[in-house]
Structure 1
Amino acid sequence: MTGKTEPQPIFDSEEERAEFEFHDSDEWVSVENFDEQRRRLELAARQMLEGSARQQISISISERDLARLKTRAAEKGIPYETLIDSILHEYAEA
């Protein structure tokens, strides 16, 4: 045996290191605003189940806004289309 060790990853920031460690662990993590996130996910699930009364549309949106929406959706663990739909639904119901 040569006694080689695995190379250690190099991180550009403390945030990048923390994200790596989070994804590399199997631990549960607390979620901020749990009730709000649960409500949003339940709404998204209900909307997906009500699919028969839906109409598909096409819209133009700036690349920057779409990138931000995709990031926010990824943080919530939902498809970006579902996030956009829930935003529009909340606005229409208000």
Structure 2
Amino acid sequence: MKKRDAYEQEILAAYEKGELETTSPSKGDLSKFKAAATATFIKDRRINIRLSSPDLMDIQARALEEGIPYQTFIASILHKYASGRLVEKPSNLTSRSTRTLRDKAAQRRLALR
């Protein structure tokens, strides 16, 4: 688990002391938020894309790490890229495509002996 920074520690301490209050948005604000969310995430276009099997397996594994379906994960990546907010974070998994290339190179070295 990731360590908490000072701000997060402060929030946690306030929560544990019961110093935080729950607030609800007004009905007007709530309807504005819902309308903005709906307009932002309307999926009105369909695309088809061809991927290599190892790349698809890597994407599916990353989606599993994130706890979301892989098609939703792909759409999220594309949205973040298009809006300039894509930040890559390293995976805990070994890439199948990298592993496949490494395995093929090892096989070629053995065949040359």
TM-score between both structures, scaled by the size of structure 2: 0.38
Which has the greater radius of gyration? 2
TM-score between both structures, scaled by the size of structure 1: 0.45
